[in-house]
């Protein structure tokens, strides 16, 4: 069946460090892939998305590339800030209504 696996957190980095949060998926066909972010005390919001193989989604300095050959959609940022501290969720779209979610990865950035 369809599933999403994310690296376990928390991930703790110093400000200006390079960030990678791994996400791999299992799915039939070519699902759309998403990264959502949840800041403390808030609901989830879309960070970026990709709809087909080799697409790169980007937003706020974050990037992720849809890799069909490795079934991955890893999130990267070149230089993180304290304000990036949040929980990051990877998800795939299975149908018109359903997203399949990873467990989330908590990111802590220390000044």
Partner 1 sequence: NAGVTQTPKFRILKIGQSMTLQCTQDMNHNYMYWYRQDPGMGLKLIYYSVGAGITDKGEVPNGYNVSRSTTEDFPLRLELAAPSQTSVYFCASSTGTGTDTQYFGPGTRLTVL
Residues that bind partner 1 (CB under 8 A): 4, 32, 34, 41-46, 49, 51, 89, 91, 93, 96-99, 101-104
Smallest separation (angstroms) from partner 1 to the CB of 68:
17
Least distance CB 93 / partner 1 (angstroms): 7
Q: How far apart are the first and last CA of the chain?
A: 41
By beta-carbon proximity to partner 1, the closer residue of 7 and 101 is 101
Q: What is d(CA 64, CA 59) in angstroms, rounded to the nearest whole number?
A: 9
Q: How far is the CB of 26 from partner 1 (least distance, A)?
A: 14
Q: Which one, 92 or 109, has the nearer CB to partner 1? A: 92
Q: Which is nearer to partner 1, 42 or 69 (CB)?
A: 42
Peptide bond into 10 cis (omega under 30): yes
Structure tokens at 20: 């990678």
For residue 21, count CB atoms less than 10 angstroms from its CB and return exposed for 0-12, middle for 13-18, buried for 19 or more: buried
């Amino acid at each position: 069946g369809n599933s999403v696996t994310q690296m376990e957190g928390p991930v703790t980095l110093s400000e200006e460090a390079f960030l990678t949060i791994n996400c791999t998926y299992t799915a039939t066909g070519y699902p759309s892939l998403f990264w959502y972010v949840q800041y403390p005390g808030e609901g989830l919001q879309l960070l970026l998305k990709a709809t087909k193989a080799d697409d790169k989604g980007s937003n706020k300095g974050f990037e992720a590339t849809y890799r069909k050959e490795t079934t991955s959609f890893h999130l990267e940022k070149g230089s993180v800030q304290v304000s990036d501290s949040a929980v990051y969720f990877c998800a795939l779209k299975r149908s018109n209504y359903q997203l399949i979610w990873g467990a989330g990865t908590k990111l802590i950035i220390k000044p």
